[in-house]
Amino acid sequence: MAEYSDLSVLIVDPNPGMRGNLHNMLAQAGITKIDYAVSSGTAIRQLAKKPFDIVLCEYDLGNGSGEQNGQDGQQLLEDLRAHKLLPASSIFIMLTSEGVYSKVIGAAELTPTDYVLKPFTVDMLQQRMRRAITRRSVFLPVHQYAEAGNPVKAIEECRLREAANPQYAVDFARLRAELLMGQEEYAEAELVYEVIVINRAIAWAQMGVARCQFAQEKFEEARITLDNLLAQHPKFMSAYDLLARTHSALGEQEAAKKILEDAVSISPNLVGRLRHLGDVALETGDVAAAEKAYKQVVAKAKYSEFRDPEDHVKLVKTLVQKGDANQISGVIRDMERSMRSGANVDACRAIATGLMHEMTGNRSGAATEFGNAVSAIAVSRGLSTQLKVGVVHSCLNANLDAQASELMLNLMNDTESGVSMDQAVQVFEQAGRHDLAEGMSKEIKHQVEELLVHASEQRSQGDLRAAVDTLNAGLRKAPANMSLALAATSAILKQLDDLGWEAQLGKHCANLIARMRSLDAGHAALAQLEAQFAHTQRKYGIATLTDSQQQRAGDVRPVGDQVPRDKVQSA
C-alpha cells in the first residue's frame, strides 16, 4: 500500500497501547503521516488546525485521563458534523468493542464511513481502509469543487463521473441530489431521489424525497413519505427527527413529542435529538419531559468543546415553571464553574439569574440582570434568535423599553437572525406595546427609503449587480414590502437583459413576481414586469422550469432495469 504514503491520519484513542498498535498497523500500510488525540477535545483542536484524510476514532474515549466521563466517539462525530470540522472528503472510521445496541445504532446513524468491531486484525483494518480510500479517490474531485465553493462545477463533475463509474452510479446520484439541495433546487433534487426510489427503494433515497418535500413546505406529503419509510425501516433514526419537525410544521406538537420520545428510546445518545425533544416538550407544557431531556443534554454535552450555555437557560426555564429556586441556583453555579467566561456565558448567566429573580418576585434584581444580558448580547456571537427574542419579552416585562427596542432593532438588522421587519413589529404588537411597534415601523420605513435610494444610485452608475444585491438584502428583512419587491424585480430584469441569463437569478425573479401577485394582484406595474420577464426568457431561449427539471432528473443513471421516460416525467 505504498500508494497511501501521502495520506494523513488522526488516531483518536485515550489508550497509549492501542495508539501504538494502530500506528504499527498504519505503518505496515505505508502510512507515516500520523497524529494523535487522546480525547474528543484534543481531536477537535487538531481538526480545527488542519484536515486529515482519515480519522480512526475509538468509541469509548473517556476524558483522555483514563476516566470514563468524557465524550464518546459518537458525540465527537456529532460535534464534528454540526460544526463542519470534518470535510466530506475525509474518511471517519469508528473503532469499538461496544455491544450495547443503542450505542451502536447511534454511531451508525451519524454516518461514519465505516465502523470496525474489536478485536480486529491488520488485514481486516487494511481491507476496510482500502475500500474506503478507493471510493474516496473516485469522489474526491467532486468534493474538492464543493469545498472550494463551486457547487455548479461539482454537480457537473458528478454527472461525468457517474457515467464513467457505473458501479457508483447511485452514490453519485445521491451526492448530486445533496448538492442540488445545497443550491435550494429542491424540486430538482426530489426528482433525482425519486428515480433512485423507483429503481432501488433505498431508505436514504426515500428520506431524501421527504427532505425535499419538507423544504418545499409540502408537509403533508413529507409526513406520508416518512410514515411509509418508518413502516419499512423502523430503525432509520433520522426519519424520526424529520417526522417530528414535519408534525411541528403542521401544528401537531404532541405528535412531534411522541415521535421524539420513541426515537430517544431506540437511540438515546444523540444530543441534538434530546435538545429537540426538550424544546418540543417545553412548548407543549410537558415540564417533566422537558426537564429530563435538558438535564440529559447538559450532562452529555459536559465535555464538549462546543458546550452551549443556552442549554442551561432552557433547563432553567423548565425549573421556573416548577418554581424550583434551589435547582435553578445549582444550574447557574454549574454554568459558572464549568464554562469558560465570555460574552455568551455572561449573557446566559444573566438571563438565567433574571428569570430566577422574576420567579421569586425580585423585580429590581430581574431588571438589572436583563439589562446586563442585553449588554452581553451586544458583544456575543452565535446566540440563537429564539433566546434573544425571549430577552426582548423579558425586558418588556421589566419595563426596560429602550433595551427591548435596541435588541429588536439589532435582530432586525442582523442578516443571520432570520427576523424580518414585519416580525419585529409583530413582537411588540403581540406584547400589547403598540407605541413601541409604531416606533419600530417608522425606523423600518426610514431604512427601506434609504435602501431604495442607495440601490437607485448604484443602478444609475451602471453597477447593476450591486443594486440587485442591495435590494435582495432588503427583501430578506422585509419580504412583504411591495416597493422593495418592485425595485428588485426591475433591477434583476435589467441585469438579465444587459449582462446575460443566470438560472438562479431568473428563478428568483419568477418567485418575486409570484410573491407580488399574492400581495397585490392588481398592481399597475405587475403586468409590465411579467411581460418583460417573458420577453427576456424568449430572448435567451429559456425552457420552462418543469422541462429543465425533467431533463436534469433524466440524467440519473438507474441501476438495473431502465426507468421508462414517462415515469421520470410524472415523478
3-state SS, residue 522: coil
Spell 123-139 as b/e; 16+ CB within 10 A means b: eebbebbeebbebbeeb
CATH assignment at residue 516: 1.25.40
CATH assignment at residue 82: 3.40.50.2300
SS in 3 state form for 419-439? CCHHHHHHHHHHCCCHHHHHH
pLDDT digits 0-9 by tens, 525-543: 999 999 999 999 999 988 6
**Residue 475 placed within a domain:** yes
Domain range for 303 is 287-401
Q: What is the pLDDT of residue 453?
A: 95
**Owner of C-alpha cell 497511501:** 4
- Together in a domain, 466 and 397: no
Strand partners, 94: 57, 115
- Together in a domain, 77 and 8: yes
Q: For the residues 329-348, what does the mean pLDDT come to? A: 94
**Residue 7 placed within a domain:** yes
Tally the domains of the chain.
Answer: 3
- Together in a domain, 383 and 465: no
Counted residue by residue, the chain has a size of 571
Q: Amino acid identity, residue 241?
A: D
CA-based nearest residue to 70, from 350, 341, 299: 299
Query: DSSP assignment, residue 349?
Result: H
Q: Which of 73, 97, 118 is the last residue of a domain?
A: 118
**Residue 182 placed within a domain:** no
Q: For the residues 125-154, what does the mean pLDDT come to? A: 92
- Together in a domain, 397 and 465: no
Supply the DSSP string of 552-566, one letter for each residue: HHTT---SSSPPPHH
- Together in a domain, 397 and 486: no
The angle at the Cα of 298, spanning 295 to 299, to the nearest 5 degrees, equals 85
pLDDT digits 0-9 by tens, 453-470: 999 999 999 999 999 999
Q: Model pTM?
A: 0.80
**Residue 166 placed within a domain:** no
Q: For the residues 246-272, what does the mean pLDDT come to? A: 94
- Together in a domain, 500 and 394: no
The angle at the Cα of 190, spanning 188 to 193, to the nearest 5 degrees, equals 115
Residue with more model confidence, 477 or 165: 165
- Quickly list H helices, 29-121: 40-49, 73-82, 101-109
**Residue 175 placed within a domain:** no
What is the rounded CA–CA span in Å between residue 296 and residue 277?
11
Q: What is the pLDDT of residue 568?
A: 31
Q: How many other C-beta atoms lie within 10 A of the C-beta of residue 409?
A: 16
Q: Which of 118, 141, 171 is the last residue of a domain?
A: 118
**Residue 377 placed within a domain:** yes
The angle at the Cα of 187, spanning 183 to 191, to the nearest 5 degrees, equals 110
pLDDT digits 0-9 by tens, 279-335: 999 999 999 999 999 999 999 888 788 889 999 999 999 999 999 999 999 999 999
What is the rounded CA–CA span in Å between residue 386 and residue 288?
21
- Together in a domain, 468 and 388: no
Confidence of residue 106 (pLDDT cuts 50, 70, 90): low
Q: Is the pLDDT of residue 566 over 60?
A: no
Q: Which of 67, 100, 118 is the last residue of a domain?
A: 118
**Residue 376 placed within a domain:** yes
**Residue 184 placed within a domain:** no
CA-based nearest residue to 344, from 380, 308, 397: 380
CA-based nearest residue to 260, from 270, 273, 272, 249: 273
